[in-house]
Amino acid sequence: MTILTEELLRDLMRARGLTLAAAESCTGGLVSDRITNVPGSSEYFPGGVVAYAYEAKVNLLGVSWDTLNAHGAVSAETVLEMARGARRIFNADIGISVSGIAGPAGGLPGKPVGATWFGLAADGGEWTRYFCWSGNRIQNKYSSSEAALQFVVDYLEGKLS
């Protein structure tokens, strides 16, 4: 039997006694949904924020207008600020964030449909990851949710440097 990423995440979070908060844009809450599909997630997941519009990123997560204007919502700089904001709002040990272009439209020069950035902020450091998916909107959202969960798992397993 294959263990789901969200179940592995639960086991690692419990073993380490840490908390996790999410800041989502293109996934629309799918990361939080998958985390809360696992019984006992309230022990380590105080909550998540869906901040789809620029205003929500600024007002809820504390993302800087300067960052958004200079780099856009789909950028390493923005997802790091989103992850920091999630940690702050929920007083969590780890913040995970995702922002991307799910499609089928919305691509820009240098930021094609499927382009997705992830941020992770924790006491041990801050990291970003980038993927460009090639599925339809629903597939891209699911791939992004999986990548976000795996990012946290990789952090907990000491695979980030």
Average of pLDDT values for 68-94? 98
Spatial distance between the Cα atoms of 103 and 134, rounded to a whole number of angstroms: 9
pLDDT band at 161 (very low <50, low <70, confident <90, very high): confident
Spatial distance between the Cα atoms of 54 and 116, rounded to a whole number of angstroms: 16
Instruction: Kindly state the percentage of the chain with pLDDT values over 90.
Output: 92
| pLDDT tens column, 106-144 | 888 889 999 999 999 999 899 999 999 999 999 999 999
Q: How many CB atoms lie within 10 A of CB 161?
A: 5
**Domains and their CATH numbers in the chain:** 5-156 (3.90.950.20)
Q: Of 105 and 30, which is predicted with more confidence?
A: 30
Spatial distance between the Cα atoms of 93 and 132, rounded to a whole number of angstroms: 28
pLDDT band at 1 (very low <50, low <70, confident <90, very high): low
Provide the pLDDT for residue 131: 98
Farthest-apart Cα atoms in the chain, separation: 47
pTM of the model: 0.96
Provide the pLDDT for residue 2: 78
pLDDT band at 6 (very low <50, low <70, confident <90, very high): very high
Instruction: Answer yes or no: is pLDDT of 24 > 80.
Output: yes
- With beta carbons less than 8 A apart as the criterion, state whether 41 and 155 touch: no
Provide the pLDDT for residue 108: 84
